[in-house]
Every structure is written in structure tokens, then in C-alpha cells.
Amino acid sequence: MIDTIAVVGATGAVGRIIVEMLLARKFPARRIKLLASERSAGKPMEVGGVSFDVEVLRPESFDGVAIAIGSTPDEVAAEFVPWAVARGTVVVDESGFFRMQPTVPLVIPEVNPGAIDTHTGIIASPNCSTTQMVMVMKPLHDAARVRRVIVSTYQAVSGGGLAASREMEQGTAAWLAGKGETKSVFPHLIAANLIPQIGSPRPGGSTSEELKMVYETRKILGDESIGVCATCVRVPVANCHSESILIETEKKLSVADVRRLLAAAPGIVVEDDLDAKLYPLPRTCSGSDDVFVGRIREDASSPTGIALWCVSDNLRKGAATNAVQIAEYLVAHPAKLSWERPAVRA
């Protein structure tokens, strides 16, 4: 049991789910503190029948806080995380700011929980699209070493935040009614459309979202030799990211092998019966903490290739659930809540 856990960015879509999960899972903390910007703070927030006062995010907010889970933009994380760490708080950070820093472990608890032991105050949670793919890759990598992955993502608008979800809802209604549509979040109209760009352009023609999948995958699995080719697409789906994945391994695995390995892996549910039209769908996977896999088949063009379809709730396992699981690990291993503190307070 710890005294206080803080949720930074508590009024956002993921932040609210984090608070819901802490309550539902009976997280062992005497107090849950909610922190947000001045714009969002100062108003009561009810979650799961419990009323919270949302406090303004400032350095002294972390006095007496053992663990903080942050769900904020990169620029906010860059500012608040050092405040928290300087006060002895372990930060589980959802932003992309710290993920690729060499001294910061990038963690999926079902994949590399041991990396948590190396933290010095900051533990990063991966990008949502990376998380579900690596969950699938891990048991296959352990059994036959993954050499290469080709992935196309079909990412829901919820990944863009509450404003993005509203834009799709309003745009879809306008499109169906034959009225004019507007856009402010996405670079193109999202209703009845696909946008093959998530993130900013990078040299070579990739986007920042695609390169996250490349570099984060290698860091989590501890293997810089894995080839990853990603194409990330925003789709007019409310929630849950879907991925079409081709995995090439060093040692050949049969479809039966893959089904067996995935079915035995924690956090993965296999739904794979094409004759019965059984496979993961965003509408049926939404609200779950698991990663769902189906359409498992051999790739006829590759001697060791396995193709599959993967769906996961990007707001939960892709974000909130993963962070809460890391926090639960820390409480279950209280020695991990201590590390060499900086000498000067921020």
C-alpha cells in the first residue's frame, strides 16, 4: 500500500480511464490525486461514483506522491516529469518524450517487466500501435526469433483525443445529410475516408508514428536487428486500433504453433475461425484490456511468414491499462519505488 498516486492529465480521455481503472482494480493507494492544467483544474470530477477535486499541476503537487501516471502531450511531460522525479515520485509516462532515452525503460508488463527494475524515476509506456503489435510478436520471438515485420495499421479516431472523436461524429452526420463538413484536428476530412498519415513527415518518406513502431519495437524486445516496415492509417472508426501484420521468423512456425503460442500468452485472446466468420472487430473489442488476434495463416510468398489480424482498445491496453499495470508492478515490488535521488530539488 502506498499513500498517494497522482494522475496527471486526469481530465483527458485516457486520464479518465486511468482513474476508472484505479478505482475498479482497487489500486492499493490511500489517496488518488488528480492533476491538470489551470484550464481544467478547479472543477469537481466524478468517476465511478466518486467525486474528485482536480488540482492545478505545479511542482509542489508531487510532495508525498509515490507514483504518478502521466497522460499528457510531450511538451507537458517534459516540464512536469522532472518536478516529480526530483521529489522522489516514480513517473509512469504515457507521452513520447522519454521513450527513446537510453536510461528510461520502455515497458509492456507482459513482455519486459524486468526492465522496470532499471528505472531511475521514469518509466515510459509505449505508443498504442506498438504495444499491441509487440504483445503479439513476443511469444513468437521467444520461440523462433522474429527477423522482420510488415504492419499496416488502421487507427481509430479516439487516438487523436476527444476533439478528434467529435470531429468524426460531426463530420459523419454532415456527410450523411449531404451538408458541408469541416476539419480542424485531421489534415483531411475523416468521415467516409482514410488518411494515410499519422504524425509528422520524417526523412525517407515515413511518418513519426511509423518510426515509433520501428524504434520502440526494437527497444522493448532488446533486438536492434528486427526489421520493421510500418504504414499507419487513420480510419473512421470510433475506438480500437486494428493491424494487419506479417511476421517473418528465423525458424519456421506452423499456424498451429502460432495459435498455441498466442493462446498461452498473457493478455492475448485468439479469435480465429474464418468459416464461422470469427475474428477480432473494433466494435466487439472496445472496452477490453486484452489484445485480440485472428486470421492467422501462412504467407505463401515467404517460407517463414505468418500473416494475422490484431485488434486492441488503444485507450486501454494501448494507454491506460498498460500504465496502471506498471504502477501495480511497482506497488507489488516496493523496493522498486526507491532509487538514487537527485541532490537538488526542482
What DSSP assignment string belongs to 146-164? EEEEEEEEEE-GGGG-HHH
Query: How far apart are alpha carbons 14 and 72 in whole angstroms?
Result: 9
Q: Could you tell me if 91 and 70 are in contact, meaning their C-beta atoms sit under 8 angstroms apart?
A: yes
Classify residue 273 as exposed, middle or buried by CB count within 10 Å of its CB (0-12, 13-18, 19+): exposed
Query: How far apart are alpha carbons 48 and 110 in whole angstroms?
Result: 27
Active site residue 241: yes
In the set 119, 240, 241, 285, the catalytic residue is: 241
The residue to which cell 510468398 is assigned: 301
**CB neighbour list of residue 102: distance below 8 Å, 6 or more residues apart:** none
Active site residue 141: no
Query: How far apart are alpha carbons 291 and 265 in whole angstroms?
Result: 10
In the set 119, 128, 232, 240, the catalytic residue is: 128
Cell of 16: 479518465
Query: How far apart are alpha carbons 189 and 167 in whole angstroms?
Result: 9
What is the set of active-site residues? 128, 241
